[in-house]
Amino acid sequence: DAKTTQPNSMESNEEEPVHLPCNHSTISGTDYIHWYRQLPSQGPEYVIHGLTSNVNNRMASLAIAEDRKSSTLILHRATLRDAAVYYCILREISSDSSYKLIFGSGTRLLVRP
């Protein structure tokens, strides 16, 4: 399984942008990059995903390096509600056409008021 590397924790001030990095140097050409986050005492929730091009949605932006060996999740204006553990995950396709999410330990984001 391809692996991702993320910092254990990061801090941000409220209403400032946050850049959460992820390294995935062993990524293969068909691996999608997914980001999920887990708020305290809740199940994970989907944030964004991409393959090669940068992606934007209502929650965040995903910037993918040209060689795809790293990516950055961008929260444009952090709020207190964004305090969570953020997981960068490589989605691999299984032989049964399913796919599995292999979670690492993620980055704990602390947001200061």
Partner 1 sequence: NAGVTQTPKFRVLKTGQSMTLLCAQDMNHEYMYWYRQDPGMGLRLIHYSVGEGTTAKGEVPDGYNVSRLKKQNFLLGLESAAPSQTSVYFCASRDQSWVYNEQFFGPGTRLTVL
State the minimum distance, in angstroms, from the CB of residue 32 to partner 1. 7
Mark residues 15-54: x for contact with partner 1 by CB under 8 A, - for none: -----------------x-x-x----xxxxxx--x-----
Whose structure tokens read 């704990």?
108
Residue whose C-alpha is closest to residue 86's, from 51, 34, 41: 34
C-alpha 27/C-alpha 93 separation (Å) is 13
Q: Which amino acid is at 17?
A: P
Site size for partner 1 (CB under 8 A)? 22
| Chain residues that interact with partner 1, rule: CB under 8 A | 32, 34, 36, 41-46, 49, 87, 91, 96-98, 100-106
